[in-house]
Structure 1
Amino acid sequence: MWSILILVILSILSYLVTDELIPKLKDLFIKAGLYGVDLCKNNNKKIPEAIGVISGCVFLVTSFIFIPTVFGNDLIERELFPHNEFAELLAALLSICCMLLLGFADDVLDLKWRYKLLLPTVASLPLLVVYYVNFNSTTFVIPIPFRQWLGVSINIGFLYYVYMGMLAVFCTNAINILAGINGLEVGQAIVIAASIIIFDIIELRGDQFKAHTFSLHIMIPYLATTLALMKHNWYPSKVFVGDTFCYVSGMTFAVVGILSHFSKTVLLFFLPQIMNFIYSVPQLFHIIPCPRHCLPKYSAEMDLLQASRTVIAKKDLTFFRKIIVQVLTILRLIDKVEDKESITINNLTLINLVLIKLGPMSEDRLTVTLLALQCCCTLLAFLIRYPMASYFYET
Structure 2
Amino acid sequence: MATRRKSSSTAGKPEEIRFEDRKASPDDPPLAPPKLGLILSASALFFAPFFYLLFYHYQIEPELRRSIAINAAMSFGGFVVAVRMIPVAARYVLRRNLFGYDINKKGTPQGAIKVPESLGIVIGIVYLVIAILFQHFNFTSDSNWLVEYNAALASICFMILLGFVDDVLDVPWRIKLVLPSFAALPLLMAYAGHTTIIIPKPLVQYVGVAVLDLGWIYKLYMGMLAVFCTNSINIHAGLNGLEVGQTVVISAAILIHNIMQIGASADPEYKQAHAFSIYLVMPLLTTSLALLSYNWYPSSVFVGDTYTYFAGMAMAVVGILGHFSETLLLFFLPQVLNFLYSCPQLFKIIPCPRHRLPRFDPQTGLLTGTKDGTLVNLFLRLFGRCSEKSLCIRLLIFQALSCLLCFGLRHFLAGWYK
Matches within 5 A, 1:288-367: 288-308=350-370, 346-367=371-392
Equivalent in the alignment of 2:307: 245
* 2:71 aligned counterpart, secondary structure: helix
1:108 positional shift? 0.5
Structure 1 residue 86: Cα displacement: 0.7
2:113 corresponds, among 41, 45, 67, to 45
The equivalent residue for 1:332 is: none
Deviation at 1:140, TM superposition (A): 2.1
Whether 1:254 aligns to 2:316 is yes
Q: Which of 158, 181, 188 lines up with 1:121 in the alignment?
A: 181
Counterpart in 2 of 1:214? 276
| 1:183 and 2:241 correspond | yes
1:57 aligns with 2:121: no
Tell me, in whole angstroms, the C-alpha distance in 2 between the residues paired with 1:306 and 1:280.
18
Equivalent residue pairs, number: 345
Supply the distance in 2 between the matched residues of 1:347 and 1:130 (Cα, whole angstroms).
Answer: 40
Paired residue type of 1:262: F
1:66 is aligned to 2:128: no
Letter in 1 for 2:130: T
Counterpart in the other structure of 1:338: none
Q: Secondary structure at the match of 1:386?
A: helix
Give structure 2 stretches of 5+ with no counterpart. 1-64
Q: How does 1:227-242 map to 2 (within 5 A)?
A: 227-242=289-304
State TM-score, norm by structure 1: 0.85
Counterpart for residue 311 of structure 1: none
**Match for residue 94 of structure 2?**
30
Q: Distance in 1 between matches of 2:303 and 2:178?
A: 21
The correspondence for 2:197, drawn from 140, 160, 170, is 140
What is the correspondence of 1:72-83 to structure 2 with a 5 Å cutoff?
Answer: 74-75=140-141, 81-82=142-143
- Deviation of 1:246 after TM superposition, in Å, equals 0.6
Secondary structure of 1:146's partner? helix
Give the letter for the 1:217 counterpart: Y
Taking the aligned partners of 1:103 and 1:389, their CA distance within structure 2 comes to 39
Shift of residue 179, structure 1, vs aligned partner: 0.1
The secondary structure found in structure 2 opposite 1:180 is coil
- The SS at the match of 2:212 is strand
Identity of aligned residues (%): 48
Q: Structure 1: which amino acid aligns with 2:289?
A: L
Residue 291 of structure 1 aligns to a residue whose secondary structure is coil
**Aligned match of 1:380:** 405
Residue-by-residue CA offset, 1:162-193 (whole Å, 9 max, x unaligned): 11100000000001110000000000000000
Shift of 1:3: 1.9
1:174 aligns with 232
What's the secondary structure of 2:103's corresponding residue? Answer: coil
Q: Which runs of 5+ in 1 are unaligned?
A: 76-80, 309-345
Moved more, 61-70 or 184-193: 61-70
Q: Tell me whether 1:193 sits opposite 2:242 in the alignment.
A: no
The aligned residue for residue 99 of structure 1 is 159
Could you state the TM-score of these two structures normalised by the residue count of structure 2?
A: 0.81
Q: Does residue 270 of the first structure (1) align with residue 352 of the second (2)? A: no
1:116 CA displacement:
1.1
Q: Which residue of 1 aligns with 2:288?
A: 226
2:57 aligned partner: none
Amino acid at match of 2:315: F
> Deviation of residue 48 (structure 1)?
0.9
Which letter does structure 1 place at the counterpart of 2:317?
V
Match of 2:41 in 1: none
Which letter does structure 1 place at the counterpart of 2:160? L
Alignment RMSD (CA, Å): 1.1
